[in-house]
Copies of this chain bind each other. A is one copy, B any other.
Amino acid sequence: MTVTIFDVAERAGVSISTVSRVLNNRDRVHASTRERVLKAVRELNYQRNALAQSLATQKTNMMGLVIPMVNDPFFFEIVRGVEDAATAKGYSLLIASQPHPAQEHRYLNLFRRGYVDAMVLTAADIQEHEVKQVIEQGVPVVLVQQYHKSISSFGVDNYGGACTMARHLLGLGYRRIAYITGTDYTIDNAERLRGLRDCLAEHGLDLPDTHIASGDYRHGSGYDAMKSLLHLPQRPEAVFAANDQMALDAIRAAKDYGLHVPDDIAVVGYDDISLAHYVDPPLTTVAQPAYELGYQAASLALEIIDTRHNGREPEPKHVNLPTKLVVRRSCGANRK
């Protein structure tokens, strides 16, 4: 049914070794022989079976990417970065997006079982030892937005980003600053909160628990959090949400409460999602180098493949890429 290398060899009147040779462009092959083989390939519309090829060469030329919720523009930029880095080195990208955490393992298994030469894992709920197992099986893994001491990773300077935002708010004169949290157990959230708190402390300001309202990063959760903040006896002057989605919720909540943003209360976010640019007022936020994150992580993973040949595992490397403050109008700057 499917045509194999044997069919081609037969039709061209040569051995399969020779067919393989011309297909791979290795060794000298007589020009006329090559022509015959190529002709047979064309006539039979032969396609090498990639599975067999990979099994024989122990190389798939594929890179795996495990990433949640590709719908998020932030993740999308990561995908683009990974894709470009992979393509640049002649690798194809296989994306495993898993809405359900349980699936992460399924895909991890898929990838570890010979399907990819390297992989980047992002924001996945996977244990360190699981990842180490994959690495021990010879597949380099690089983490994005996730930290395990023994595994190379690329992250974003959440602490620094939050600091920068905090300084910006302080610079605008706000003193009572509140925070809407992301999911508690994430480092991102913890680091952002820490950045804000430290920066406030530097200015002799406190971040009382009453000024910390809890959200979960998801759409909608910022609304209730904001409501609770607005009901405070002394309303905050500025609200820093752990991500843009929640900041948008907060703006909506403020409006529904009859307040004007930023005149009555400033609201800022984190992530710089594309929506941030469109809403009214446009959202001041912190942009993350998502593309770079993906690009660098993938490049490193691919690099490890090469360096491996001559020796053992390279030292894990941890890089935190810098963020960028994006000032729009929701913070009260750039007032019309």
Interface residues of A, Cβ cutoff 8 Å to B: 1-2, 45, 47-55, 60, 62, 70-71, 73, 76, 79-80, 83, 87, 92-99, 103, 106-107, 109-110, 112-115, 133, 137-138, 248, 274-275, 278-280
Contact = CB atoms under 8 A, between A and B. Distances in A.
A96 B99 contact: no
Contact of A80 (B49, B99, B106, B115): B99
Contacts of A80: 99
Contacts of A275: 274-275, 278
Given A70-B95, A87-B103, 10 more contacts: A2-B137, A50-B110, A51-B113, A52-B55, A62-B110, A71-B76, A79-B97, A95-B96, A275-B278, A280-B280
A113 B49 contact: yes
Contacts of A45: 133
A151 to B, nearest CB: 17
A87 B107 CA distance: 11
Contacts of A98: 83
A132 B223 CA distance: 51
A79 to B, nearest CB: 7
B94 A95 contact: yes
A138 B97 contact: no
A243 to B, nearest CB: 15
A60 B113 CA distance: 12
A248 B274 CA distance: 13
Contacts of A99: 80, 83
- How many copies of this chain? 2
A222 B199 CA distance: 43
Contacts of A94: 94-96
Closest 8 CB pairs of A and B: A50-B113, A71-B76, A95-B95, A51-B114, A49-B114, A51-B55, A70-B70, A50-B114
A96 B93 contact: yes
A138 B1 contact: yes
Contacts of A87: 103
A106 B76 CA distance: 20
| Residue from A95, A98, A248 whose CB has the most chain B CB atoms within 10 Å | A95
Contacts of A70: 70-71, 76, 79, 95
Nearest to A70: B70
Contacts of A1: 138
| Residue from A96, A114, A278 whose CB has the most chain B CB atoms within 10 Å | A114
A99 to B, nearest CB: 7
Nearest to A65: B95
B106 A92 contact: yes
25 contacts: A2-B138, A45-B133, A47-B113, A47-B137, A49-B113, A49-B114, A50-B110, A50-B113, A50-B114, A51-B114, A51-B115, A62-B110, A70-B70, A71-B76, A80-B99, A83-B98, A87-B103, A92-B96, A93-B96, A93-B97, A95-B96, A275-B275, A275-B278, A278-B278, A280-B280
A51 B47 contact: no
A204 B295 CA distance: 56
Nearest to A1: B138
